[in-house]
């Protein structure tokens, strides 16, 4: 790896998918990248980072090296590194260079409150093929498949108007959203004859945060994380997600926000046993609701008003 501080970049820019992605390179060999961004850490603790590349690479958090896989070599990793991180946002920097032959850069992390999450698009995926590009029209699209940067049990939904989101069936909560076209499913469905697929689908568009901090609803106590059981979903005009929270039936419907970039959640609760709290991390988000009162990123809805209410989250 070179000393990037002594080099002047040929180009700078933002990657629309908000992912580490080698497809931004116009050259097939002898090039290097520095990817920078902010990593959201949900709680204090030790986090593990995974790195695999062809050729050399390095991950730095808070400007400190966490994993280094330097040298000219095939992608025979991954290499791992651990670091203690405090709750909040931390600068992430990934350095990479390639000489000839294969190009690959895979980055992932896991830790308290974070299941193994991929932060990169593989460098071997190739361009988006129109035959595998999905865009929602007048009706919503639902895809059950692995998605770059998504949870292991991802359910991706494309809404009319090119607003999309990823639902996590493990936590029964929306993980993130994105604007633009929906998905490139080529890696999962197989692009070419003889390609068996099985890869991670690629998000088409610009990703945005919804302040996800696990399952957002609480009964009676905003600090008490409830027992939640995912009950599946219905493929209606607008998909409906079903769950039980502390034994109470809850339905969630997600739509595009009426204005701006964001999403609107409609919750239907069969019979709330106590006041309902909706909890998220509101950094750089605008929060409104049809009922209840907000204190920071916490909404309190009286039990008598909780049978049906909406929460709107926009950038």
What mean pLDDT, rounded, does the chain reach? 87
Find out whether 61 and 83 touch, Cβ atoms under 8 Å: yes
pLDDT at 128: 43
> What average pLDDT does this structure show over 301-315?
95
d(CA 151, CA 146): 8
By mean pLDDT, which of 5-14, 25-34, 136-145, 202-211 is the weakest? Answer: 25-34
Report the run of H or E that residue 239 belongs to, with start and end.
none
Burial zone of 154 (CB within 10 Å; 0-12 exposed, 13-18 middle, 19+ buried): buried
By mean pLDDT, which of 12-21, 42-51, 58-67, 241-250 is the weakest? Answer: 12-21
246 φψ region: left (φ > 0), alpha (ψ -120 to 50), beta (else): left
pLDDT at 101: 66
Above pLDDT 70, what percent of the chain? 91
Instruction: Return the number of other C-beta atoms located less than 10 Å from residue 104's C-beta.
Output: 19
Burial zone of 304 (CB within 10 Å; 0-12 exposed, 13-18 middle, 19+ buried): exposed
d(CA 157, CA 133): 14
Per-residue confidence at 26, pLDDT binned at 50, 70, 90? low
pLDDT at 67: 95
Which structure tokens are listed for 147? 């998605």
Find out whether 60 and 51 touch, Cβ atoms under 8 Å: no
Is pLDDT of 158 > 60? yes
- pLDDT tens track for 56-86: 999 999 999 999 999 988 777 678 899 999 9
d(CA 141, CA 238): 9
pLDDT at 60: 97
pLDDT at 36: 95
Full-model pTM: 0.61
> What average pLDDT does this structure show over 20-34?
79
Find out whether 292 and 277 touch, Cβ atoms under 8 Å: no
Nearest to 103 by CA among 144, 52, 145: 52
C-alpha 175, offset from chain centre: 6
pLDDT at 105: 87
pLDDT at 116: 77
- pLDDT tens track for 173-207: 999 999 988 998 877 776 554 455 567 788 888 88
Q: What angle do CA 122, 171, 221 make, to 5 degrees?
A: 145
Which structure tokens are listed for 146? 């692995």
Report the run of H or E that residue 106 belongs to, with start and end.
strand 104-111
């Amino acid at each position: 790896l070179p000393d990037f501080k002594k080099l002047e970049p040929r180009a700078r820019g933002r990657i629309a998918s908000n992912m580490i992605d080698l497809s931004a390179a116009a050259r097939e060999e002898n090039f290097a990248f520095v990817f920078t961004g902010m990593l959201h850490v949900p709680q204090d603790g030790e986090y593990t980072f995974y790195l695999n590349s062809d050729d050399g690479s390095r991950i730095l958090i808070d400007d400190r090296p966490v994993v280094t896989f330097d040298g000219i070599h095939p992608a025979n990793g991954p290499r791992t590194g651990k670091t203690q991180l405090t709750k909040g946002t931390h600068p992430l920097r990934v350095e990479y260079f390639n000489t000839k032959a294969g190009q690959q850069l895979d980055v992932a992390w896991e830790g308290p409150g974070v299941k193994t999450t991929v932060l990169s698009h593989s460098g071997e995926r190739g361009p988006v093929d129109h035959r595998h590009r999905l865009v929602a029209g007048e009706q919503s699209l639902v895809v059950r498949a692995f998605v770059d940067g998504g949870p292991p049990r991802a359910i991706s939904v494309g809404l009319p108007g090119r607003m999309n989101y990823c639902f996590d069936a493990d936590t029964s909560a929306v993980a993130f959203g994105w604007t633009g076209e929906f998905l490139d499913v080529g890696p999962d469905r197989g692009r070419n004859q003889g390609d068996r697929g099985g890869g991670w689908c690629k998000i088409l568009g610009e990703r945005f945060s919804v302040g996800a901090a696990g399952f957002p609803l609480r009964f009676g106590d905003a600090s008490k994380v409830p027992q939640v059981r995912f009950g599946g979903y219905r493929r209606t005009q607008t998909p409906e997600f079903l769950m039980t929270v502390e034994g109470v039936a809850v339905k969630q419907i997600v739509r595009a926000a009426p204005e701006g970039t964001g999403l609107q959640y409609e919750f239907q609760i069969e019979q709330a046993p106590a006041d309902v709290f909706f909890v998220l991390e509101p950094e750089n988000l605008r929060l409104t609701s049809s009922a209840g009162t907000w204190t920071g990123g916490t909404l309190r809805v009286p039990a008598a008003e909780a049978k049906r209410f909406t929460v709107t989250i926009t950038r």
